[in-house]
Amino acid sequence: GKASDFAPLIHSMLNEGGSLLRKDTVIDMLSLKNEGQIGIESKIGAGIGWKIGRTHDGRRFYNHEGGGGGFTTEIRMYPDSDVGFVVMMNTWSLNMAEVKLAHIVCEIVHESACHPDSFLHSQLRVCSEAELEK
């Protein structure tokens, strides 16, 4: 599939429901079920299918990563910023270097998207305005 195929899921998750999931389902999935570090960056714990963490400056995020046999993926959502995206790579290794790289890419993109003077932020605003005009 394509990264854009995840857009309806991310939209439903960030908006606590929508065309794919009911509000109570999203709330349940993102509610803390297990405390403690799960994975590389998600140090708060896990919900149902989603890891929960905080960025270096304290912003909450949810993520689900995966990989194997030549691919690595990361779905990351920052609910306080209303931003979510998918990173897909055609590589994988036992030392999880690609997963670590995906985490770094997510942080860079998120910080750029949320900084009002950044190019990425201006492009996201243009895309959002175009969506609203449809």
Mean pLDDT (10-residue bins), the chain, 134 residues: 85 87 93 82 85 85 84 87 85 69 75 68 56 51
pLDDT value of residue 26 = 92
User: How many Å apart are CA 12 and CA 29, to the nearest integer?
Assistant: 12
> What pLDDT score does 95 carry?
63
Tell me the CA distances in angstroms from 110 to 21, 37, 47, 58, 130, one per residue in order: 24, 22, 22, 13, 20
How high is the pLDDT of residue 109?
A: 76
Classify the C-alpha dihedral 116-119-50-99 as positive or negative.
Answer: negative
Q: What is the pLDDT of residue 36?
A: 82
Identify the pLDDT of residue 125. Answer: 55
Closest C-alpha to 106, from 134, 128, 126, 81: 81
Q: Which residues contact 77 (CB under 8 A, 6 or more apart)?
A: 10, 13, 14, 61, 62, 63, 83, 84
| Contact in structure between 74 and 92 (CB atoms under 8 Å) | no
Contacts made by residues 124-127, CB under 8 angstroms, sequence distance 24+: 124/83
Residue 118's pLDDT is what? 62
pLDDT at 132: 47
